[in-house]
Amino acid sequence: MTAVDEATKTQIDRILQSHVMRSSEALKRLFSFLAYKSLAGEADDLKEYSIGVDAFGKPPTYDPRQDSSIRIHAARLRQKLAEYYRTDGKDDLIVVDLPKGQFKLTWYWRSVDAVVSPTNPSNAGASGMRLRYYLAIACAGLAATTAWAVYSTMRLENERQSSALYRSQWTPEIAVLWQPFVGSERPLLLSIGTPLFVNLPGLGIFRDTSLNDPDAISQSKVLATITQALHITRFEPSSGYASLGAAHAAFTIGKLLGARKANISTVNGNELSWRQLSENNVVLIGRQRFFRLQLAGLPVKPELDIEEDVGVRNLNPRTGEPSVFTNAGSPATGVTYALVSLMPGPEGNTSVMDFFARDGAAMTGALGWFVDPASAKSLVSKLRGRTGQVPKYYQLLLKVRSQDRVPLETSYVLHRELRPVGR
């Protein structure tokens, strides 16, 4: 980098720190990236795709024809540069510009006459000081140039490593598994199954494990016995608690998809409505018992059905297959069968995916196959089978071995393709 380039770098830093640019992190990131590439002489071949992937961490599947965000950011950056030179930078000697139709920054020195207007000589002193300032930088910038070059090289390398790590976590196989959600413009709801408790004022929270529907509270014989014995006349349902496994699963999915899909939100499983299932793509996390009502109306006939205390029932066993895949051991330590299903929504135009198991460790182990690159590669290969195509809708059975509530090993058992049926 020459001393003149160092002066340009200082001007770029002035723009980045200006009031005009302060409020937009996206434009600052784009401006910094283009500045580095332009100063390094690497901007001639810059394209939307490389900027999206290297500067903004977009996945390898990023298509500029369908995602115009880079063009929009570039147009806004041109406007911000023009605004800067009308306001904060009206007396600056170096003008930085982004010409239309390209991503290479240009810059030039303005003459002192252009900065010190004859009609406004009062700014001559300040402009003269700026001129001496830039000349001093141009003549004595060797040390600063070296320091900045080392710093910027390290920063770019860190950005490249971060970008590579970002891309490595979003492999083609993971993209295939999550395509129904990231490839859709519909919002994504993460619905966490929450057990139903009953709040007994003055006493605490009570849980009848057979009770999961708020409308069925009055049918609980255990609750009736307790309220009668303790002379309680008032109680209310409470569904503000979720298992650690379900919360962890929701966090993992949000972390994976959050950078690739903006419209993600969560909803309590007890509050998930038929309309939400019809208008949004939804991922259900938790125990199936908390979603029985919602699942009952989906236009698909399941091949597998989970019975958490027993295992997973094989509703149409094939030759050599058992009718029940039975859990072994306790939820903390043992073998648990987890069921993952991808199904159509109530109207057939949305997608519903569920991760069901009797315990959080099995749920975490099952989800790992959808977020870990190595497991996802194996899973997609299994789903494709002989046809080479991943089914649009399917059920997947996984076997999870855990120790002290930590999943140690997850293995593929089988999958079934699902076909929508008439409502």
Alpha-carbon span 104 to 33, nearest angstrom: 10
Question: Which residues have CB under 8 Å from 406's CB, separation 6+?
Answer: 361
pLDDT at 195: 76
The mean-pLDDT minimum among 196-200, 214-218, 388-392 falls in: 214-218
One domain for residues 186 and 218: no
Q: Residues 200, 232: contact at Cβ < 8 Å?
A: yes
One domain for residues 52 and 189: no
pLDDT bracket for residue 320 (50, 70, 90): very high
> What are the tens digits of pLDDT across the range 334-359?
999 999 999 999 989 999 999 999 88
Alpha-carbon span 401 to 364, nearest angstrom: 11
pLDDT at 169 over 80: no
pLDDT at 375 over 90: yes
The residue ranges of DSSP E strands in 279-405, in sequence order, are 281-286, 304-307, 311-314, 324-326, 328-329, 334-344, 351-356, 394-403
Q: Is residue 245 part of a domain?
A: no
One domain for residues 224 and 331: no
Question: Which residues have CB under 8 Å from 73's CB, separation 6+?
Answer: 26, 27, 30
pLDDT at 166 over 60: no
End-to-end CA distance of the chain: 68
Q: Is residue 244 part of a domain?
A: no
One domain for residues 92 and 224: no
- How would you classify the pairing of strands 351-356 and 394-403? unpaired
Q: Is residue 243 part of a domain?
A: no
Q: Is residue 303 part of a domain?
A: yes
> What are the tens digits of pLDDT across the range 99-143?
988 899 988 887 545 444 444 444 544 545 554 544 544 444 444
Q: Please give the angle made by the CA atoms of 309, 313 and 315, to the nearest 5 degrees.
A: 155
**Which among 273, 290, 284 is positioned nearest to 239, based on CA atoms?**
290
One domain for residues 343 and 374: yes
Name the residue with tokens 């911000």: 80
At 75 the three-state DSSP class reads helix
Q: Is residue 74 part of a domain?
A: yes
Which among 3-12, 61-70, 210-219, 368-377 has the top mean pLDDT?
A: 368-377
- Between 357 and 197, name the one with better pLDDT: 357
Q: Is residue 224 part of a domain?
A: yes
One domain for residues 365 and 298: yes
One domain for residues 186 and 119: no
pLDDT at 155: 54
pLDDT at 4: 57
List, in sequence order, every residue forming a beta bridge with 178; answer none if it has no partner.
none
pLDDT at 296 over 60: yes
pLDDT at 154: 52
Alpha-carbon span 370 to 377, nearest angstrom: 9
Percentage of residues of the chain with pLDDT beyond 90: 29
Total domains, the chain: 3
Could you tell me the two tokens for 292? 């029985």
One domain for residues 287 and 214: no
> What are the tens digits of pLDDT across the range 400-419?
999 988 899 999 999 999 99
One domain for residues 356 and 332: yes
pLDDT bracket for residue 167 (50, 70, 90): low
Q: How far is CA 400 from CA 332, 333, 367, 409, in A?
A: 12, 10, 11, 6
Mean pLDDT of the chain: 81
One domain for residues 220 and 111: no
One domain for residues 233 and 265: no
pLDDT bracket for residue 280 (50, 70, 90): very high
Q: Is residue 423 part of a domain?
A: no
Q: Is residue 422 part of a domain?
A: no
**Which among 148, 124, 151, 125 is positioned nearest to 137, based on CA atoms?**
148
Helix segments in 169-290, DSSP class H: 172-182, 221-229, 244-257, 274-279
Measured in whole angstroms, how far is the alpha carbon of residue 111 from the centre of its chain? 49
Residue 94: enclosing H or E segment and its boundaries? strand 94-97
Q: Which domain holds residue 383?
A: 176-193+251-417
Q: What is the DSSP letter of 420?
A: B
* 390 HSE (CA, 13 A, CB side): 19
pLDDT at 381 over 90: yes
One domain for residues 255 and 396: yes
- Between 128 and 179, name the one with better pLDDT: 179
